[in-house]
């Protein structure tokens, strides 16, 4: 799905189901990070009006997701825990070129963002199919659709503004890189864990 090389082992859902409070807290912070990342891309690339327009919408959608997860946390009598680090995302971050020109940096950050959307989408799809909790199954199905749209937005801007860069080749390199990273995950009750 979405050109990922490795699928998540479905047994990851059994780990998640043992600690719903933890996955919800981690998930809430994933949405916060997604909103923050979109704002960072706007800040670094403010001269592209269409990118600013679409990423402002995307950032707001991520904040709504954050709010939706927080609402579920409250409804279930939990409290939002402290921010969780996302070691998968931190490892993926190392792929981005450092010290290149601004356009190369923008394309890399867009592809990095698209990859996180793609993997999140794959995890949400698996959760929606396998989790026994019906409310969460429906919730993750709805979010999967929204995150798939975000993936398309990021990839679309990378292709649009990266005409002089071989974006498909760079994406393929990222797909290979991500497959090496994700091999070591699928063992914890976090969205990318």
Give the residue with the Cβ less far from Fe ion, 117 or 178.
117
**62 lies in the binding site for Fe ion (CB under 5 A):** yes
CA distances from 26 to 51, 117, 157 (A): 28, 15, 28
Distance in angstroms (rounded) separating the CA atoms of residues 137 and 16: 13
**123 lies in the binding site for Fe ion (CB under 5 A):** no
Nearest-approach distance from CB 97 to Fe ion, in angstroms: 23
**27 lies in the binding site for Fe ion (CB under 5 A):** no
Nearest-approach distance from CB 145 to Fe ion, in angstroms: 11
**84 lies in the binding site for Fe ion (CB under 5 A):** no
Give the other-Cβ count within 10 Å of 115's Cβ: 25
Geometric angle at alpha carbon 16, from 15 and 21, rounded to 5°: 130
Residues 28-57 as x/- pattern, contact with Fe ion by CB under 5 A: ---x--x-----------------------
**147 lies in the binding site for Fe ion (CB under 5 A):** yes
**86 lies in the binding site for Fe ion (CB under 5 A):** no
**65 lies in the binding site for Fe ion (CB under 5 A):** yes
Q: Are 95 and 157 in contact (CB under 8 A)?
A: no
Residues 90-119 as x/- pattern, contact with Fe ion by CB under 5 A: ---------------------------x--
Residues in contact with 164: Cβ distance below 8 Å, sequence separation at least 6, in sequence order:
103
Geometric angle at alpha carbon 142, from 59 and 28, rounded to 5°: 50
Provide, for the chain, the percentages of residues in helix, strand and coil under a 3-state DSSP scheme, each rounded to the nearest 5: 70, 0, 30
Nearest-approach distance from CB 69 to Fe ion, in angstroms: 9
Nearest-approach distance from CB 121 to Fe ion, in angstroms: 8
From the list 150, 154, 170, 190, which residue makes contact with Fe ion (rule: CB under 5 A)?
A: 150
**122 lies in the binding site for Fe ion (CB under 5 A):** no
The CA-based dihedral angle spanning residues 30, 145, 17, 190, taken in that order and rounded to the nearest 10 degrees: -20
Give contact residues for Fe ion (rule: CB under 5 A). 31, 34, 62, 65, 117, 147, 150
């Amino acid at each position: 799905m979405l050109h990922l090389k490795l699928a998540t082992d479905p047994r990851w859902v059994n780990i998640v189901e043992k600690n719903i409070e933890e996955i919800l807290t981690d998930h809430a912070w994933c949405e916060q990070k997604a909103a923050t990342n979109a704002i960072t891309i706007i800040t670094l690339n403010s001269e592209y009006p269409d990118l600013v327009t679409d990423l402002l919408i995307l950032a707001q959608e991520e904040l709504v997701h954050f709010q939706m997860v927080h609402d579920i946390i409250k409804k279930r009598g939990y409290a939002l825990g402290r921010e969780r680090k996302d070691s998968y995302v931190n490892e993926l971050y190392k792929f981005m070129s450092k010290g290149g020109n601004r356009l190369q940096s923008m394309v890399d950050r867009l592809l990095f963002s698209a990859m996180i959307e793609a993997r999140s989408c794959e995890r949400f799809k698996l959760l929606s199919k396998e989790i026994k909790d019906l409310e969460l199954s429906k919730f993750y199905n709805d979010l999967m659709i929204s995150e798939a749209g975000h993936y398309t937005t990021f990839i679309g801007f990378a292709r649009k503004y990266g005409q002089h860069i071989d974006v498909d080749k760079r994406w393929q390199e990222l797909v290979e890189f991500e497959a090496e990273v994700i091999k070591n995950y699928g063992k914890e009750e976090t969205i990318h864990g």
